Structure 1
Amino acid sequence: MSISGYQAFGAGRTVAVIGAGISGVCSAAHLMKQRLRVTVFERSGVAGGVWHYDERIPEDPPYPNETPSKGDYHLSSRGEFAYATPPPEYDTDEDSGVRTRGNTNIADLEVRFSPPGPCYAGLKNNVPTYLMSSVLGPWPEGTEPFVSQKYLEQYIQTLARNHGVDAITLFHTRVDEVRKTPDGTKWEVRSVTLEEGAAGARFTENISHFDLLVVASGHYNMPRIPNIEGLREWKASYPNRVIHSKQYRDPGKYRSQNVVVIGAGVSALDICKEIDGVAKKTYQSVRGGKFDLPASLLPANVVRIHQIKRFALHDDIRSGQPLGDSQAIPGYIVLEDGQVLDNIHRVVVATGYITSYPFLPQLHSDTAPITEAGEDIVVTSDGDMAHNLHRDIFYIGDPTLAFVGVPYHVATFSLFDFQAQAVARVFAAKARLPTREEMRKEYAKRVEEKGYGRGFHSLHAPGHELAYVQELVDWVNSHGAELGEPPMLPHSEEWKKGYDELKARARALFMTPDDRESSGDN
């Protein structure tokens, strides 16, 4: 093996795992099963990731949001406790590093330190639970196919507790910088821990070193805010009336109001359903993209409209003037087809998220276009995908770095668990990666077949997820057999049957009347 870093593989090596959602918990548990020494870094106070409900709302992202390397929080500088410029409302004792509350509630500082995720009170899974499971443990007997977020969060937390992941997790600890040591043999992780005490908040910076690194920080951190003409002005003038879907929590504030939801993905659909019967009228603005969910899924009171061309405010209205609950935003929206909407009270920007790993700035380029990532960059200026990963997992330039949870349109818990098993076997030297040259050839072939963009990681097409997992299993087992390792088990026949049924239902939803007629499905 000629790839730099292979000497780091093997039982007993140290591994840092960033994130304690389903990807991080599965990764940590499988790594420990392979007798690797694991530390998990989790910026919030609990395991659960995107399924943890926090009623607090993250702060506004920039409008537009176009710099992937910035992430969704303020990165600290080396040698500082949390912020390059400490919030002025906090007093810092230079000797102890303690910051007192001042005029800001400690909870507000926690929100800045660890922005809450997009989970809202009514969130449910959209893939049935019997397809979303880890080999680490079954769902409780009698679990329904579709359940509220609290049951998904509990499932993750049960896995973390039962497999010792909680015990090796540093909670309230955010990773702000990861880089290789000068000799290239270790990953240096700079983390910041937020602790509450009687005197206020204490930030502690720590530097630690690891042989191996797993990034399991998830998809849903950095909101994507499109650069639509006038949207920034609407947000600046009426900040509480324009939000990203990450900030949505419940339908109450939309009562008897006219709402525009921008986007045609799962979040947009869920919010349209949540506010149906509460809002007076809901408009869903879509671009007509490949992965748009069909309008047939929308409630009857929701009107699907064209892409928005621009937002405008009336010239005769003083910008920023407070609005009563019943008052609409004093402006109008122009659509690409020329239609004009007015009397709009609220806008929800449900346009998804930007791929971002701000703690790895050396793997970002905020200027390179998507086609010019080269052989080193993982995230280009668009933030649409993760480049240079072998099988969406191993960083080709240095495979001591792995990512778990990159693919889209999958049965998340199940697929990420398979990825975690593969990483654990490789990191424990129980499976061998191809040479760098072979990995680059395979990656280039995928780019040629799938093109660049978010769809590069999609396993939405029939059979793609099954094929991806089977390839992982076959590859891992081809090496494990030589070492006398127990085989990594593929999807069960029962799972495959349930998956095929789910895909058949999904295809039916996307069929047009002409499709149904030609297939005889009327």
Structure 2
Amino acid sequence: MDPFAHVKTIAVIGAGPAGLAAVKYLKAENYFDNIVAFEQRDEVGGVWNYTGAVSESDQSDLTVPRTKPTDDVEQPLRKKTQNGKEKLGFPSPVYDSLETNIPHTLMQYGDKPFPEDCPLFPPFDIVKQYLEEYAADITSYLRLGRQVVAVESTKVNGKYATKWRVTYTDLGSRESHEELFDAVICASGHYSDPFIPDIQGISVFKERYPAIISHSKYYRNPEGYTQKKVIVIGNSASGIDISSQISTVTTQVIVSEKEKPTTLRNDSDSITYRPEIAEFLLPPNSRAVRFSDGHIESEIDSIIFCTGYQYSFPFLKGLDPPPITTGERTRNTYQQLFYYPQPTLAFLTLPQRIIPFPIAESQSAYIARVFAGRLTLPTTVEMKGWEDSVIEARGDGKSFHILAFPLDADYINMLHELSMSARVIESRELANRGQGKIPPFWNEEQRWTRQRFPMIKQAAMKLGEKRREVRSLRDLGFDFEEWKKEQEAEGECVKSNALLVEDVKSGVQKEISIPEVDDAA
């Protein structure tokens, strides 16, 4: 039986960048009776919502170590505004001076460019405004302040047509509600459940010094680190940013690196680099750790784990087989999208080391066409075979979802081709001659930019505060058109040299004249 034969109502969980894209592509199919996006925050934007300083008491659910995803939905922070109203908040990883590490020309949705006058690497508030503008024409599909607490597969009236029971809480009234949907798209992201590794001695250290250990999710600015000795664990984007920022006010910053340094590493004299921590030490050592090279550092005032997040969908904990076990990856999926045991459940933006907005668009286009019956999925056996092949190639852990360039570009273009192969159903009167909303396709210039964006970001960071004045890639010396001309010129030169070699081999003088030999020489 075709699981998509009667899909007319769809729940989208999350109204961040991925959830908004999903609603747009579902709406564009002109087919579904009811599309609802549930968002636990009281505004759109997902993790791009800034929540301000997070007190220690609001971090009370941060267990140390934290190596397994939580089974509980996140509890909202409830704060009173100046007019006495209650405002809901969920801590996000956005800190005071956060700006993108991706040029907005590459980051943007295909049908909505960023403003021309905004910095090449926009600060978070511009991204938030951009998302609000993107959502302006779909607000009627959004239910804000509604937290999904359970999604369960169910049969209606004993029939075989499976529906999904979505249980959610209205966080304003605190009332619980249930609704049935034919399909569900999880667009809740994977930047809410922190990962903190289990290092020898860390549990006892946390008990003895409860205020020292924190996670980058709760970092906001350097103010709390003045005249302190701080260890930053991790050298990815957040680790690089945070160590650079606090190094201006601390007595010492030590960055603990597990992996090789990135091209964006700050080589300032104010930052010391060490390998990974092997052990947290207790008295007679005073607030000390031992690194894997044997070095012991003591009198530590703060330790910030910039160690990323776990995949966590606590509202799906009743599913069998489970999509989440260890938190390292989402299981039982086809093309990083469809939960193949019941493919009317899909996920967005599971891949990592990607450009999220265009990936969300590409995935949403494919899902929308499948749910609308214009594309057909492979059999369950074939979809499981796809997952098995990825496991064989990349492993069964974190690497499963890593689509670093050029894999992300190839993935975007593959989903584009699949989406554009969808059936044209004239009665639906879809845009673009029945093809529907067109997903992104990365051309040579976009792939060129994607390949170079770490170098582009590095060039911007070298400008210091003046980087905020940068408006284009050309401002940083990256010009695709000039590069293209150089490549073509080099290509012509190579081609000419190749022809000349062939001509010399055949004894034919061509393209250049060979000077006569001077016998007197």
- TM-score normalised by length of structure 2: 0.78
Instruction: Give the stretch that moved more between structures: 262-271 or 51-60.
Output: 51-60
2:299 equivalent to 1:350: no
After TM superposition, give the deviation of residue 493 of structure 1 in Å. 4.3
Provide the rounded CA distance (Å) in 1 between the counterparts of 2:296 and 2:264.
Answer: 21
1:485 to 434, 441, 447: 434
2:366 to 407, 422, 425: 422
Give the unaligned 5+ runs of structure 1: 75-81, 88-103, 196-201, 317-329, 365-375, 509-522
After TM superposition, give the deviation of residue 346 of structure 1 in Å. 0.7
CA contact (8 A) 2:105 2:113 kept: no
Provide the rounded CA distance (Å) in 1 between the counterparts of 2:362 and 2:72.
Answer: 27
Summarize deviations over 1:1-26 as a string: whole Å, max 9, x none.
x45x22233xxx11111111100111
2:381 equivalent to 1:437: yes
1:388 to 324, 332, 346: 332
Identity %: 28
Amino acid at match of 1:350: C
Match of 2:52 in 1: 55
Match of 2:450 in 1: 499
Summarize deviations over 1:424-477 as a string: whole Å, max 9, x none.
1211222221221221222211111111222211111x4211211121112222
CA contact (8 A) 1:272 1:299 kept: no
CA contact (8 A) 2:151 2:167 kept: yes
SS of aligned partner of 1:414: helix
Provide the rounded CA distance (Å) in 1 between the counterparts of 2:309 and 2:114.
Answer: 29
SS of aligned partner of 1:273: helix
Provide the rounded CA distance (Å) in 2 between the counterparts of 1:56 and 1:503.
Answer: 29
Summarize deviations over 1:41-64 as a string: whole Å, max 9, x none.
111111111111110425231112
CA contact (8 A) 1:430 1:485 kept: no
Match of 2:223 in 1: 252
2:472 equivalent to 1:475: no
CA contact (8 A) 2:199 2:280 kept: yes
Amino acid at match of 1:459: L
CA contact (8 A) 1:260 1:347 kept: yes
After TM superposition, give the deviation of residue 114 of structure 1 in Å. 5.2
CA contact (8 A) 1:72 1:115 kept: no
Provide the rounded CA distance (Å) in 2 between the counterparts of 1:507 and 1:431.
Answer: 42
Q: Quick one: structure 1 residues 121 and 482, their matched pair in 2 at CA, closer, same or farther if it must change by over 3 Å?
A: same
CA contact (8 A) 1:72 1:222 kept: no
2:354 equivalent to 1:410: yes
Match of 2:345 in 1: 401
After TM superposition, give the deviation of residue 336 of structure 1 in Å. 1.6
2:236 equivalent to 1:239: no
After TM superposition, give the deviation of residue 192 of structure 1 in Å. 0.6
1:267-416 correspondence to structure 2 within 5 Å: 267-288=238-259, 293-294=262-263, 296-314=265-283, 330-363=286-319, 376-381=321-326, 383-416=327-360
Instruction: Give the stretch that moved more between structures: 494-503 or 214-223.
Output: 494-503
After TM superposition, give the deviation of residue 482 of structure 1 in Å. 7.7
Provide the rounded CA distance (Å) in 1 between the counterparts of 2:265 and 2:91.
Answer: 32
Instruction: Give the stretch that moved more between structures: 483-492 or 340-349.
Output: 483-492
CA contact (8 A) 2:422 2:435 kept: no
Match of 2:103 in 1: 128
Match of 2:149 in 1: 176
Amino acid at match of 2:188: S
Q: CA RMSD in A?
A: 2.7
1:111-150 correspondence to structure 2 within 5 Å: 115-150=90-125
SS of aligned partner of 2:59: coil
Match of 2:19 in 1: 24
Q: Quick one: structure 1 residues 236 and 204, their matched pair in 2 at CA, closer, same or farther if it must change by over 3 Å?
A: same
1:8 to 3, 6, 9: 6
After TM superposition, give the deviation of residue 233 of structure 1 in Å. 3.0
Provide the rounded CA distance (Å) in 1 between the counterparts of 2:104 and 2:257.
Answer: 29
1:167 to 140, 144, 149: 140
SS of aligned partner of 2:421: helix
Based on CA coordinates, which of the two structures has the bigger radius of gyration?
A: 2
SS of aligned partner of 1:157: helix
**Count of equivalent residues:** 438
2:67 equivalent to 1:66: yes
Q: Quick one: structure 1 residues 284 and 275, their matched pair in 2 at CA, closer, same or farther if it must change by over 3 Å?
A: same
After TM superposition, give the deviation of residue 303 of structure 1 in Å. 1.2
Summarize deviations over 1:197-251 as a string: whole Å, max 9, x none.
xxxxx41100011111000011101011211223233333333322111111111
Amino acid at match of 2:434: E
Provide the rounded CA distance (Å) in 2 between the counterparts of 1:150 and 1:332.
Answer: 38
Amino acid at match of 2:95: Y
After TM superposition, give the deviation of residue 105 of structure 1 in Å. 6.2
Match of 2:165 in 1: 188
SS of aligned partner of 2:5: helix
CA contact (8 A) 1:229 1:311 kept: yes
SS of aligned partner of 2:12: strand
Provide the rounded CA distance (Å) in 2 between the counterparts of 1:204 and 1:463.
Answer: 47
SS of aligned partner of 2:162: coil
CA contact (8 A) 1:69 1:361 kept: no
Summarize deviations over 1:66-124 as a string: whole Å, max 9, x none.
332425626xxxxxxx9xxxx9xxxxxxxxxxxxxxxx9668x989x853111111111
Q: Quick one: structure 1 residues 298 and 389, their matched pair in 2 at CA, closer, same or farther if it must change by over 3 Å?
A: farther
After TM superposition, give the deviation of residue 295 of structure 1 in Å. 7.4
CA contact (8 A) 1:295 1:304 kept: no
After TM superposition, give the deviation of residue 350 of structure 1 in Å. 1.1
Provide the rounded CA distance (Å) in 1 between the counterparts of 2:259 and 2:449.
Answer: 29
SS of aligned partner of 1:285: strand
Provide the rounded CA distance (Å) in 1 between the counterparts of 2:443 and 2:265.
Answer: 32
Match of 1:515 in 2: none
Provide the rounded CA distance (Å) in 2 between the counterparts of 1:474 and 1:117.
Answer: 35
SS of aligned partner of 1:443: helix
Summarize deviations over 1:395-441 as a string: whole Å, max 9, x none.
11111111011111111111111111211121122222122122122
Amino acid at match of 2:25: H
Provide the rounded CA distance (Å) in 2 between the counterparts of 1:72 and 1:229.
Answer: 29
Amino acid at match of 2:357: F
CA contact (8 A) 2:9 2:181 kept: yes
CA contact (8 A) 1:59 1:115 kept: no
CA contact (8 A) 1:136 1:159 kept: no
Provide the rounded CA distance (Å) in 1 between the counterparts of 2:323 and 2:227.
Answer: 45
Provide the rounded CA distance (Å) in 2 between the counterparts of 1:363 and 1:270.
Answer: 38
Provide the rounded CA distance (Å) in 1 between the counterparts of 2:455 and 2:180.
Answer: 48
Provide the rounded CA distance (Å) in 1 between the counterparts of 2:383 and 2:247.
Answer: 48
